[in-house]
Structure 1
Amino acid sequence: MAVPKHKISKSKRGMRRTHQSLLLNNILLINKRTGEKNLYHHISTDGYYRGKNILYKITKNDN
């Protein structure tokens, strides 16, 4: 059975847990085109990523 050899201080415990408190406001980016919030390194809902259209909408041409 795993048992810790030494007591972990409150400071060390807190240092380990610092990354658990990421706020959603810090990881959201406001889209300049639509004003919506989306995550960094992700495509927005309208299909744009870093100002370029990544997802093209397919339209049917009646020719």
Structure 2
Amino acid sequence: MKVFSPEKLVKAREEAGLTQFQLAARSGVAQGKISQYENGHTCPSIMKAAALADVLGLLVDDFLMEVG
């Protein structure tokens, strides 16, 4: 089973050289939500994950990790 990995989102954002604020502005996802995703407090919906992935030049699957 695959689950959302906050660490992968942080790594992708940092590798793209973006702040949370910049990613929010480009993706349409609120900066506070991005913070929650990166801190593991909540997981993005598929639509929000797709918006983030699009800005970062990734696939939604790139934010997932295998568990179990």
- TM-score between both structures, scaled by the size of structure 1: 0.25
Structure number with higher helix proportion:
2
- TM-score between both structures, scaled by the size of structure 2: 0.23
Structure number with higher strand proportion:
1
